[in-house]
Amino acid sequence: MKKDINYYLNLPYKINLLKLDDGDYFAQFDDKELNKLVLMAGDGKTPNEAIEDLKNAFACYLEEALAKNEFIPEPMQKDKSKNLAITLKNSLIDEIDFYSKKMGLSRSAFLAVSAKAYIKTL
């Protein structure tokens, strides 16, 4: 996939929005890597105006960074999924499958929910 300006503009960067004392809005990306390179902000009378202003500033930054072939950080995915191979007895797998199906969950989702619930009891 070509990483052009549209590629970066469509990535899910998290945006922080703040209502200022004067009633205007302030928008800034919540991405430490991106903010290390360049601080961008948007402001406007409405939340949408502030976000649009921020996106316009980001587009200007992207044009220059792409022209100079500079590194552009992509949004951090804090909780990526990872494959895990485990060995369990067939009877336990059958029970997991029975209850996960009953709950409308995949086996992986059931195991994740169960593990989180157990960890909370520790």
- Summarised one tens digit per residue, pLDDT across range 65-81 is 999 999 999 887 666 77
Q: Which CATH number fits domain 5-67: 3.30.420, 3.30.1490, 3.30.2450, 3.30.160?
A: 3.30.160
Please state, in angstroms and rounded to a whole number, the distance separating the CA atoms of residues 52 and 7: 17
Average pLDDT of the chain, as a whole number? 90
Place of tokens 């996106």: 55
Please, are residues 52 and 25 in contact by the beta-carbon 8 Å criterion?
Answer: no
> pTM for this one?
0.61
Task: Map out the domains of the chain as residue ranges.
Answer: 5-67, 90-120
Average of per-residue pLDDT across 22-29: 95
The enclosing H or E element of 8 equals helix 5-9
pLDDT at 35: 81
pLDDT for 62 beyond 90: yes
pLDDT at 70: 92
Instruction: Pull the structure tokens for residue 95.
Output: 């029970």
pLDDT bracket for residue 31 (50, 70, 90): confident
Interval 32-55: pLDDT, tens:
888 888 889 999 999 999 999 999
